[in-house]
Structure 1
Amino acid sequence: MHTSSTQSETIDRSAAVAVIGAGPAGLSAARLLRRHGVEYDHFERHTDVGGIWDIDNPGTPMYESAHFISSRDVSGFFDFPMPDHFGDYPSRVQIFEYTQNFARTFGLDEVIEFGTTITDVRADDDTWIVTPAGQTPRRYRGVLCASGTNWHPRVPRHRGNFTGEIRHAVTHRSGRDFAGKRVLVVGLGNSGADIACDAAQFADSAYISVRRGYHIIPKHIFGRPADSFDEVVTIPMWLERPVLSALLRLLVGDVTRWGLPKPDHKLFQTHPLLNSQLLHHLQHADIAVKNDIERFDGDDVVFTDGSRLEIDLVLYATGYEMQIPYLDKNTFEWDGDRPAQYLTAFNRHHRNLFTVGFVETNSSAYTLFDNISNVVAQYLRDQVTRPASASRFDELIANDRPNLAGSLHLVDSPRHAGYVDAKVFKKHLARVRQQMNWSDLEPGPAKSTAKAVNVTASRNQP
């Protein structure tokens, strides 16, 4: 670490840690810090909690038709279940409401400094200097980066010139914007599938461009949310894969009948595509499938099979780059475009620099946020109350290199770099907690340890 500031130039908060971001990951971290008696300050550049789920948050990729990709009863924070009146797969409005209620129930929003953008974070000996925009820098003993992953679009480049409109999915808000247009959606992740369905309903004609085939899992199997079976049935991957593959052949059939390429990988070797609505639109020819783009030619898009289409709007649903813009990129090791942190959270070279929420997984992310926040909070607590214990965990950070993908053997792609199998991750965290004599998640009130500082917080709630 290098020295970049002097004590006189900063507000001393060196007994506390800074939490950056008040989306689901930041709220999870704040609550677990309180539970374990760790003092913190909390920053959010927007005017409310919720992160990407607030459609009014500038730069969010949220769109009107969005729903949670995991189901209601297996999602949510660990002791704060989603209400029964929510849909099996809650809408973006319900998820935003749920996240707001979580923050208010535990008083987390009362101490967040809203409207405060962090412009710079840097190491200073064994502390961290955090600079809020237009404010005096503050000194902390640690920083939790929870500012989210879906803010920096990944946009591919294709040869040629296109006279129509090119946009990324981050700009998509409503299917109504497709009215009267011939729309090509590029990419078939879960967001791309949702947006293609919007185009199927509103556009004059709708197409999807894909490079490979995908296994499509219906959102409901035998009338129950598909992911609910994973919670009650535990079988090894070598058995689960052929059993579910056979079931999908029975329930879904041959996806090549509707123009999709045959998958070039086994089930679960890519992030699962859960979308029953897409199947409906493919089956009714509301969406036509094209292969990869070869080049643009004026009004036309030319595909690798030589075919071409006259298109008004090309919308890239090609994902996001994980960036942490307030930190020097070299502060992290990287696995593709993902910070290569121990247990997805702990920096191996800079003590007390954490990432919460920078994870791609095959399960509800909220429960994983709680599990890793619980470990981060107890580690920070032990640095004060049991320094020998914290030093033992420092050894794990430096030397423990678990395989958190388990037996998935994922396709090599930027999205799957550092991919986490939720069951494997939780089991390893349980072993770490046992080894460190740390507690598991337990319901109950959280002690408030966030403290106001001599800076006016902005809480301009909409």
Structure 2
Amino acid sequence: MCSRTERDAEGLQCTLAEGPIVVGAGPSGLAVAACLANLGVPSTVLEKAHCVASLWQHRTYDRLKLHLPKQFCELPLMGFPAGFPKYPSKHQFVAYMEAYAARFGIRPIFGRAVEVAEFDAAGCCWRVVAQTGEVFLSRWLVVATGENAQPNTPELPGLERFGGRVIHTSSYKSGRDFRGENVLVVGCGNSGMEVSFDLCRHYARPHMVVRNSVHVLPREVLGVSTFGIAMALLKWLPLKAVDRILLAAAHIILGDTDRVGLRRPKTGPIELKNSTGKTPVLDVGALAHIRAGKIKVTQGVKEVTRTGARFLDGAEGDFDSIILATGYKSNVPSWLKGGDLFTKEGLPNKPFPNGWRGEDGLYSVGFTMRGLQGTSSDAINIAADISEQWRSGAVIAQGGGSTHRRPHCQRPLRPPLQGAPAAAV
């Protein structure tokens, strides 16, 4: 929702947002916009794609399902439909996102990739410039592009001379496109394991590169979600004790994963997740294929050759394709200028649950390394904080004499005057 449109000193279309600007219309952006709407605060949601949840719609493989039960993946104020399965598919999750946006009247402005956003101290507002040339102004800026904004591509020596196909998992759809091929899958996280499993189902021959140690846990224990068990136990037991219980259960159900080349880290799975964001793999069938020899586990790549790869243990192999299952990263450093909230890697400076608020009306949502539960927590906090300022500002504007905390910016928000410097909004 925008209040009015004018022109700045450079002749650019300048839109004064009535409420905060939210950058990103994925689950994080929708969650904070919904929480704001629920408190009566409008927002302007900018999205570079032409749909909500674009990562889920365009950068995920066909067989993807939520790794966690649906009750752990709901956004604030609206649960999944009762008829959805325990682990919704990506298409069901997208349908949920679209229904969520509709319910709370969220209408993102699509096709508005942000080129730069910076706080203008003279005008006391955030100035967000889209690649279309439009300028959006607001007292508040919510960064909701998340931890997975762009593919993370590793530097593999010799990759440029490989004669076959090279793709990131963001472009992978189905193993049917690789039928009969020898495929090198670089990465052994949830994506690497599931892509390797999917390749097997379509009669490809995957070789999965395991560069580091990894925790593999069963998705369920006796029909109950492993994650759900962990969350319940953490209410009563210390984290390290819960990790020991999870590893004992994993050993009973999955056996010794070290024997098939999947070395476990010394730090427990929950402790490792909380400290580094490295998510344990929840096995959905890939481990059985590894034991059966259908998925070959290899060491790290020393160099890529024209026809394949050489590995750190001296082995060599020929491959038709290489799939980079190497995850994603934040794109915040490429467009957000200034502010105290983010590191140079584009992650909050403060750990969860304190990384959602910065100075000068800057906020972040979707950077907790705790999935959609962390997103929900941040969205609720952000909406409450902005709503307090919003109500306080409204009372002041009416001359009502309020004891509420004043909004951080008291001067009237306006675009640069004709002939004034562009930064002086």
Same fold (TM over 0.5): yes
Task: Please name the residue that 2:399 is paired with.
Answer: none
Shift of 1:51: 2.9
Is the partner of 2:126 in helix, strand or coil? Answer: strand
Residue 255 (str. 1) matches residue 261 (str. 2): no
Task: Describe the shift of the 1:150–1:267 C-alpha distance in structure 2 as closer, same or farther (beyond 3 A).
Answer: closer
Is the partner of 1:101 in helix, strand or coil? Answer: helix
Contact (CA 8 Å) 2:25, 2:144: kept in 1 or not?
yes
Residue 377 (str. 1) matches residue 383 (str. 2): yes
Task: Please name the residue that 2:299 is paired with.
Answer: 291
TM-score by structure 1 length?
A: 0.75
Residue 20 (str. 1) matches residue 23 (str. 2): yes
Q: Which one of 301, 316, 320 corresponds to residue 309 of structure 2?
A: 301
- Looking at structure 2, the residues matched to 179 and 381 of structure 1 have their Cα atoms a distance apart, in angstroms, of 54
Is the partner of 1:129 in helix, strand or coil? Answer: strand
Is the partner of 1:77 in helix, strand or coil? Answer: coil
Q: Deviations over 1:145-199 (max 9, x none)?
A: 2123323222222333433332222221111111121001011111111111122
Residue 358 (str. 1) matches residue 361 (str. 2): no
TM-score by structure 2 length?
A: 0.81
Residue 322 (str. 1) matches residue 333 (str. 2): no
Contact (CA 8 Å) 1:82, 1:98: kept in 2 or not?
yes
Gaps of 5+ in 1: 56-60, 395-462
Q: Deviations over 1:398-447 (max 9, x none)?
A: xxxxxxxxxxxxxxxxxxxxxxxxxxxxxxxxxxxxxxxxxxxxxxxxxx
- Looking at structure 2, the residues matched to 43 and 266 of structure 1 have their Cα atoms a distance apart, in angstroms, of 39
Task: Please name the residue that 2:172 is paired with.
Answer: 172
Amino acid at match of 1:100: E
Q: Which one of 330, 352, 356 corresponds to residue 345 of structure 1?
A: 356
- Looking at structure 2, the residues matched to 119 and 203 of structure 1 have their Cα atoms a distance apart, in angstroms, of 43
Is the partner of 2:360 in helix, strand or coil? Answer: coil
- Looking at structure 1, the residues matched to 319 and 94 of structure 2 have their Cα atoms a distance apart, in angstroms, of 35
Task: Describe the shift of the 1:385–1:104 C-alpha distance in structure 2 as closer, same or farther (beyond 3 A).
Answer: closer
Runs of 4+ in 1 over 6 A off after TM superposition: 391-394
Shift of 1:333: 5.7
Shift of 1:359: 2.9
Is the partner of 1:19 in helix, strand or coil? Answer: strand
- Looking at structure 2, the residues matched to 330 and 203 of structure 1 have their Cα atoms a distance apart, in angstroms, of 50
- Looking at structure 1, the residues matched to 113 and 151 of structure 2 have their Cα atoms a distance apart, in angstroms, of 20
Task: Please name the residue that 2:118 is paired with.
Answer: 122
Is the partner of 2:140 in helix, strand or coil? Answer: strand
Task: Please name the residue that 1:150 is paired with.
Answer: 148
Task: Please name the residue that 2:421 is paired with.
Answer: none
Contact (CA 8 Å) 2:181, 2:321: kept in 1 or not?
yes
Task: Please name the residue that 2:104 is paired with.
Answer: 106
Task: Describe the shift of the 1:393–1:88 C-alpha distance in structure 2 as closer, same or farther (beyond 3 A).
Answer: farther
Task: Describe the shift of the 1:265–1:306 C-alpha distance in structure 2 as closer, same or farther (beyond 3 A).
Answer: farther
Amino acid at match of 1:42: V
Shift of 1:280: 2.4
Task: Describe the shift of the 1:330–1:281 C-alpha distance in structure 2 as closer, same or farther (beyond 3 A).
Answer: farther
Task: Describe the shift of the 1:391–1:217 C-alpha distance in structure 2 as closer, same or farther (beyond 3 A).
Answer: farther
> Which deviates further from its counterpart, 370-379 or 152-161?
152-161
Is the partner of 1:238 in helix, strand or coil? Answer: helix
- Looking at structure 2, the residues matched to 237 and 171 of structure 1 have their Cα atoms a distance apart, in angstroms, of 37
Sequence identity percentage: 24
CA-based RMSD: 2.7
Contact (CA 8 Å) 1:14, 1:127: kept in 2 or not?
no
